[in-house]
Every structure is written in C-alpha cells, then in structure tokens.
Structure 1
C-alpha cells in the first residue's frame, strides 16, 4: 500500500507549477537540495519518473500528469480535514480576473461550490479582455487570472483547451456563392489569429462583417443576423445555433486558457487554486 506523504506531494505540485527546482525551493522556503530529495523520494515511492528535463526546465511525464490530479486532491482533502478539526474558517478577499467568455461558462459552477463551502471568503470578479487581464496580473492588481496562454509569459497552473464553434441566428442561411460574413473579435484579441487560421485552412472566402469587442457584442451581432461568429458552446445565445460541420464551412477554433496565480497569493487564493484544480481533475477524469 502506498503511503503518500502530503509533505512530498506539496513539493511535487510546486515543482510542477513553477517548472524548476530552484523556483520551487524559493517558494517553499527550502533549499534546492531538500526539494530535489523530496522529488526523488516520491519517485522512488511510486516507482515511476514524474519529471523529464527540457529546454524550458522540468516537464511532467505522462505518469507525472496523472500524479498531479491525485496529488492536488490528496493535499486539498488534507487541508480540509485540518480546518474541520481545528474549526479554522477561511476569510479574506480574492481578486480574480477572468476573460468574459470563460466567466460566463466553465467557472460558474466551480465558484458557486467554492463560495458555498467558504462563505467568509469574498471574491472580486474582474472581467476584462485577455491582454488587459495580463497587464493587471503583471501589475499585481489581480491575485488570480484566467486568460489566453499567449498573453502571459508565465507557466500556468492549469490549461483548459476549449473550442469556439461558429454560431449563427437559427434562420441564417449560408450563401455559398458569396464570401462568408464573419463577426471578428477586436484587433487586440489573441483569438483573431486562430480564427483567421481556421478560415484559411479550408480556403474559405470570407469578409469581416462586424467587429465585436465583448461577448455581449458578439452575441448581439449573431442574434441580429449580421453573420457567423466564433463562440464557446456554453455561451450560444437563445435563438441561435452552431453551424453544421460541413467540409465547405470553417472548423472549430482551438484556444488554450491558462489559470495563473501570484507566487505570494493569500491562503484563500491558494485554496481556490487547489479547489479549481481538484474540480477540473474530477470533471476531466475518464
């Protein structure tokens, strides 16, 4: 029977998050040798290699990726037991920045459950475009940020792969003899590049029929019938539908959303990170 020490698991998760032993040691206020020894001890205990070296630092192996989900769950449960037995209640305020499309979909249920378990933790939800969120995070105005991975030069704690589907008003008819009218994001949105690349992959003739600066603007333009717009499935407005997956129509736009935390985040913010990680591991597990 494996006896997984949460002390070892915390070191493992910190190295996985930061990508270097040096960085993890600094965050944990331990020596590099001590953290290296903890990782070796954990690998010996589970009998597999958890990290491999790359030009970017340490990368999780396939076994390491499996281990992350369970390690987070074990550590989170350990912390919960400690709080329950001691009667400690989390308090404080968390500044969470979220890109609009994501705030309106995946995070709703996670934050609802977190709030139900931690009613004394206040959460400021700041919804801004991707690049603005990155600026605010770098300036220390956010404790946590959820935004496109291309706008922050840091390693995210989590990455969600999402797909933007092409949405039209329910009665909209695509005229194959004319350029496809596309509702584009504004110029500063990093999703524009992926959107254009997806259109180019199938040599589709298209034109910019409208520029939408927010999710509300995108939904409004689609509902008005101006053209087709890329949206997360969970945000498709009433009276609209996703385009059929035909060879002469654009495919889904792949985007990657990262979850970032400040290195000196508060206890409440760190707990929310673990809570989101655990929830994601449980819902994404086969």
Structure 2
C-alpha cells in the first residue's frame, strides 16, 4: 500500500505552484533544506521523479502531473475532516476578477456549487477586460483573477484552452467577392493579435466592420448582422451560428485563460482555488 504523507504532499504542492524550493519554503515557513528533503522522500516513496530541474526552477514531470490532483484531494480531505470534526467553518470574503467572456459560461456552474457548499464565504465578482483585471490583480485589489495568460507575467494556478469560433447571424451570407466584415475587439484587447493572425494566416481579405469593447457589444453587433465576430462557443447569442469550416474562411482562434492567485491569499481564497482546480473537468480542456 502507498501511504502518502500529507506533510510531504504540502511541500510537493507548494513547489508545483511556485516553481522553486526557496519560494515554497517561504510559503510553508520551512527551510529550503527541509523542503528539498521532503521532495526527495516523496519521490523515493512513489518511485518516480515528480519534478524536472533546470536553471529556471522546477517543473512537473508527466508523473508529477498525474500526482498533482491526487495530492490536492488528499490534502483537501484532511483539512476538511479537521474542520468538520472541530465544528469550524470558513468565513471569508473573496474578490474574484473574471474576464466577461469566461464568466458568462462554464465558471458559473463551479461558483454556484462552491457557494452551495460554503455559504459563509462571500464572493465579490468583478467583471472587467483582460488588461484591466491584470492591473487590478497586480495592484493587490483582487484575490483571484481569471484572464488571458499573456496579461500577467506570473505562473497561473490553472490554465484552460478555449477556441474562439467565427460567429454570424443565422441568415448571414458571406460574399466571397468582398472583404470579410469583422467585428473586432478594441486595440487594448490581447485577443486582437491572434484574431488578426488567424485572418492573415490564410491570406483572407477583411475589413473592420465595427469595434466592440464588451461581450454584450459583440453579441449585439452579430445579432444585428453587422458582420462576423470571434466568440467563445458558449457565449454565442441565440439566432446565430458558427461559420462552416472552409479553406476560404479563418480557422478557430486559440486562446488560453489562466487562474491567478495572490501568494498571501486568505484561507477562503485558497479553498476556492482548490475547489476550481478539483472541478476543472467541468470547464473546457
């Protein structure tokens, strides 16, 4: 039987999250030597290498990636058992910033389930564009942020891959003889570059039909029939469709959304990060 010591698993999780032994040691209030020893003990116990080491720090191996969700669940269950047995509940308030396109879809289900299970944790949900969320997070005004990974230089706790599909009103007809009318994001949006790149990659002639700065504005422009907009699939409005795949049309636009947390976050925020991570299967892969 494999008896996984939560004390070792906490060291493993801290290093996996931060990427360095020194950073994990500071977070755990342990010495670097102690954390290094705990990692070696855990690797000896499971019989595989969990981290690959380089000048940049430590990153999870394939076996480490397999270990990660199990370690989180074991530590979580131990913490939860302690709280339930002692009669303690978490009372906290979390400032969660989410980019509008992501908040409108999958994340709602996870947050609803979290609130149902943790009614004493209040969540303030702040909806802003990607770069605005990054600025608020860097200024310490958000506990957690969900935004495009290109907007923050630190390592995210979790990353989701999304694809923006080219969306039009159901009766919209593409005129092959004219430039595609594109509903474009404003200049500061990080998704502008991959969108224009997808158009240029196939040498497609296009024009900016209008500029929309919010999801509501994009959806309205599509429904009016102004043009074609790149939208995450589950945000497409009623009465609209995705353009059929064709060599004459742009392909889906790949973007990555990251979940970021402050290094000194409170217990409630840490519990929400763990909860989202455990339920990541409810979100796009």
**Partner residue of 1:139?**
139
- TM-score in terms of structure 1 length: 0.97
Give the Cα–Cα distance (whole angstroms) in 1 for the partners of residues 73 and 114 of structure 2: 15
1:111 aligns with 2:77: no
Give the Cα–Cα distance (whole angstroms) in 1 for the partners of residues 49 and 192 of structure 2: 39
The 1:55/1:230 distance shift into structure 2, 3 A limit, reads: farther
- TM-score in terms of structure 2 length: 0.97
**Partner residue of 1:93?**
93
C-alpha distance after superposition, 1:41-90 (max 9, x if no partner): 11111111111123432111111111112211222222222222111111
How is 1:271-282 mapped onto 2 (pairs within 5 angstroms)?
Answer: 271-280=271-280, 282=281
Superposition deviation, residue 115 in structure 1: 0.1
How is 1:1-286 mapped onto 2 (pairs within 5 angstroms)?
Answer: 1-280=1-280, 282-283=281-282
Give the Cα–Cα distance (whole angstroms) in 2 for the partners of residues 268 and 58 of structure 1: 27
* Matched length: 285
Question: Contact (CA 8 Å) 2:106, 2:282: kept in 1 or not?
Answer: no
C-alpha distance after superposition, 1:158-194 (max 9, x if no partner): 1111111111000001111110111111100001111
Give the Cα–Cα distance (whole angstroms) in 1 for the partners of residues 125 and 283 of structure 2: 24
Instruction: Extract unaligned runs of 5+ from structure 1.
Output: none
**Two-structure CA RMSD over aligned residues (Å):** 1.4
C-alpha distance after superposition, 1:239-274 (max 9, x if no partner): 111111122111111001111111111100000010
The 1:51/1:75 distance shift into structure 2, 3 A limit, reads: same
Question: Contact (CA 8 Å) 1:76, 1:275: kept in 2 or not?
Answer: no
Give the Cα–Cα distance (whole angstroms) in 1 for the partners of residues 94 and 160 of structure 2: 21
